Amino acid sequence: ILFSNDAFGQHFAVEELYNDKANQCLLMKEALKYYVNILNPFSMLVAKKIDEIMGMGLNISMICPSHGVIWRDNPLQIIDKYAEWSKAYQEDRITVVYDTMWEGTARIAREISHELSLQHPDTVVKVFSVSKSDKNEVMTEVFKSKAIIVGSPTVSNDILSSMSGWLSFLKQLKFKNKKAAVFGCYGWSGEGNRILKERLKDAGFEVIEEEVKSLWNPEAEDFAKVKEMVAKI
């Protein structure tokens, strides 16, 4: 029996305790959410530890984490998943994350999503407003994505505080091997896009030059910029 403490856990309660008694879809969703939001920064250590444990050639009959299910049915399945997740895991997905005050930046987000579906029909695209979404769910989508597109209007020579907080959390999770692009509305000084780019670079993302920067409300010329940006991401 492996008493793994935090590793292989979830924030998930199952009355009958064991993994085979859980709804499998929910269980794996929660196991991934836990990995992304808590263990992703330690992915290199996770990969090393898994190699070490597997190298011991132990016959593991049960894994008992400090929270979540007890893995008794095929306990190696969660070790296999961790091995996959810890090596810069990626799917053909792009996630759009934004916040807005008067909906202008939201309209650009929706246009980006529409353009992505035209230019990249096989790519799974999800759009999140940070003020209306669970931040751990959003990070799980970022983890699965090959690129993210991030938007905020300019506010008081800065970005919205909701986006600023979200970008701090993004940096903490130490994602690797992902591209990013930015967009947003402004009224006069327009620092928002530059700040978004700096924060994303600082969080380890490869940020592309192409952007959408719209004075007050997006117009046809801004939507033309969406096409260029989506072609480069």
Ligand X SMILES: Cc1cc2nc3c(=O)[nH]c(=O)nc-3n(C[C@H](O)[C@H](O)[C@H](O)COP(=O)(O)O)c2cc1C
Contact set with ligand X (CB under 6 A): 100-105, 153-157, 185-190, 216
Number of other CB atoms surrounding residue 199 within 10 Å: 23
Nearer to ligand X, 75 or 151 (CB): 151
Q: Closest separation between CB of residue 155 and ligand X, Å?
A: 4
Minimum CB distance to ligand X, residue 207 (Å)? 20
Q: Closest CB to ligand X among 103 and 198?
A: 103
| Paired sense of beta strands 147-151 and 93-98, if any | parallel
Q: In the complex, what is the shortest distance from the CB of residue 188 to ligand X, in angstroms, rounded to a whole number?
A: 4
Q: How far is the CB of 81 from ligand X (least distance, A)?
A: 38
Residue closer to ligand X, measured from CB, 3 or 216: 216
Of 190 and 204, nearer to ligand X (C-beta) is: 190
Report residue 148 as tokens: 């993210």
Kindly tell me the sign of the dihedral angle through the C-alpha atoms of 194, 210, 202, 114: positive
The first and second tokens of residue 99, run together, are: 């916040």
At closest approach, how far in Å is the CB of 98 from ligand X?
A: 8
Q: What is the 3-state secondary structure (H, E, C) of 37-72?
A: HHHHHHHHHHHHHHHHHHHCCCCCCCEEECCCCEEC
Q: For ligand X, which is the closer residue by CB, 39 or 160?
A: 160
How far apart CA 142 and CA 134 sit, in angstroms, is 13
